[in-house]
Amino acid sequence: MSEPGDDGDNRARSIALLRMMERIRAFEKQAILAAERDKLVLGAIHPSIGQEACAAGIMQAVRRDDILLSTHRGHGHTLAKGADPLAMFRELLGREGGCCGGKGGSMHIADFNVGMLGANGVVGANITIGAGAAHGLKLIGSDRIAVDIFGDGAVNRGPFLEGLNWAAVYALPVLFVCEDNQWSATTRTRTVTAGEGAGARAAAMGLPVTTVDGNNVEEVAQAADQMVARIRAGNGPEFLHAITYRQTGHTSFDQAAYRPEGEAERHKREDDPIMRQRSYLQEMGVSSAELETIHAEAQAEMAALLKEAAATPFPPDDTAFTDVQDIGSPAKEAF
């Protein structure tokens, strides 16, 4: 979506990156409130607070009709891909009009209208699906590409090897992204990962690897732009290793007491992607008032949408039996 332009364009783009990160954070803060305070979100949610630069930076580089596959920690990616936040809130609350009709919830959020083909409850499973989507796109001669995002924990699952090898062998149009927040649930990923880790493994299969500071949204965006351009030109898959940090617990309910004292606080204080982009924009001459407005607008937008979602009814009971299968459908005969 982005074109190299003059300073005015750059400024607008940098502001847009901040705005998207603010919206993601506001969405997730509301979602956490809805889970903990209001008991409206019943299932687990996995916030990406502290990781918003990856979502904002990568998704601005792709088109609306490009494909995205994501993980259990996928709200940010989905929103940045262009999904409707009201439909997302409704989904988190299990309501009618949710993007999956209330059947999926946070972990299976998807919006096919914007090419978002699903978050996934199984770590690593989206890697082969994303490779396959790219395979299908190539087969039908499309110029669309796929973006396949997973965590650092996923590189220890088999589909990582099978999916990356597959994409490389068939030179598929797919950008693999390891959004490395350094934690696999309650385990520090490097303590259970042999060798040099994600990037080295991808490089061993011949994928060009770019490593970025995943909390610097400008750096993520720039890298993504270049990689997406090469991939769309038909040069085969690439691998983006974005180093970031999960500021919250694994789920909204997890207090993350297993982390060394002060680690999360230090990241929040010194390495927060939103704070860093605000400083960057201030250096560019954007006023504090303007930054505050962006923040306040995001908050107001998401608070209002959550309210609206909470006023929506639950889906009709009989939809428990729809969209399973045509042949042998439980809507006709479930036993």
Partner 1 sequence: MAEKMTYVEASREALREAMQSDETVWCLGEDLGRGSVFGQYLGLQEEFGPDRVVDTPISEAAIMGAALGAAMVGTRPVVEMRFSDFALCATDELVNQIAKARFMFGGQSRAAMVIRKPTGMWRSSAAQHSQSLESWYTHIPGLVVVCPATPQDNYSLMKAAIAADDPVVYFEHKNIWGMEGEVNRAHTVEIGKAAIRRAGADVTIVSWSDTANLAEQAGARLAEEGISAEVIDLRSLWPWDKEAVTASVARTGRLIVAHESVRAGGFGGEVAATIAEAVPGARIRRLGAPRSLIAYAPNLEDQMRVTVDMIAQAAREMTND
Ligand X SMILES: Cc1ncc(C[n+]2csc(CCOP(=O)(O)OP(=O)(O)O)c2C)c(N)n1
Residues 71-100 that bind partner 1 (CB under 8 A): 98-100
What would the x/- binding string for ligand X be over residues 41 to 70, using CB under 6 A? -----x------------------------
How far is it, in rounded angstroms, from Cα 250 to Cα 252? 7
Does 188 sit near partner 1 (CB under 8 A)? no
Say which entry of partner 1, ligand X, Mg ion, none residue 330 contacts (CB below 5 to 8 A, set by partner kind).
Answer: partner 1
Nearer to ligand X by C-beta: 123 or 224? Answer: 123
Instruction: Figure out which of the listed residues 74, 98, 130, 153 binds ligand X, where binding follows CB under 6 A.
Output: 153
Nearer to partner 1 by C-beta: 121 or 197? Answer: 121
Residue of this chain nearest to ligand X (CB atom): 151
How far is it, in rounded angstroms, from Cα 18 to Cα 26? 12
Give the nearest distance from C-beta 44 to partner 1 in angstroms: 15
Piece of 11-19, 120-128, 139-147, 298-306 that binds ligand X (CB under 6 A): 120-128
Instruction: Figure out which of the listed residues 85, 124, 151, 163 binds Mg ion, where binding follows CB under 5 A.
Output: 151
Tokens 């399973």 identify what position?
324
* Position 317, amino acid: D
Does 40 sit near partner 1 (CB under 8 A)? no
Does 28 sit near ligand X (CB under 6 A)? no
**220 in Cβ contact with 57 (< 8 Å):** yes
| Number of residues in the chain | 335
Say which entry of partner 1, ligand X, Mg ion, none residue 73 contacts (CB below 5 to 8 A, set by partner kind).
Answer: ligand X
Does 133 sit near partner 1 (CB under 8 A)? yes
Nearer to ligand X by C-beta: 165 or 182? Answer: 182
Give the nearest distance from C-beta 115 to partner 1 in angstroms: 9
Interface contacts to partner 1, rule CB under 8 A: 67, 69, 98-104, 108, 110-112, 117-118, 120-122, 125, 127-137, 139-140, 142, 146, 158-159, 162-163, 165-166, 169-170, 322-328, 330, 333
Residues at the site binding ligand X, with contacts judged by CB under 6 A: 46, 71-73, 121-123, 151-154, 181, 183-185, 189, 246, 250
